[in-house]
Amino acid sequence: MEDQRLKARERWPEAFEGLSALQTHALEQALVSSWHEGVEPTTDLVRDIAARARSEISFDEFKHRVLRRAGVQ
């Protein structure tokens, strides 16, 4: 039987560095939620969500990056 877990911490360990327990949980939940909806997280998306959780980028910058990758901007 195929493993049906995302295993985000194993796939992107660097994204979780420096996050609090609450931030780690939020990042995992965001990734798993979108994954269950059929969205395969990319490394860039994971890094951007983690950067937003750390307040390294603003929400506007996060939104800009997501829309740019989607080809909307």
Q: Which tens digit of pLDDT belongs to each residue from 12-32?
A: 999 999 999 999 999 999 999
> Considering the entire predicted model, what is its pTM?
0.84
Query: d(Cα 73, Cα 52) in Å, to the nearest integer?
Result: 20
Q: Using alpha carbons, list the distances in angstroms from residue 44 to 1, 18, 61, 66.
A: 29, 17, 13, 9
Q: Which two tokens stand for residue 42?
A: 């990319």
pLDDT band at 4, cuts 50/70/90? Answer: low
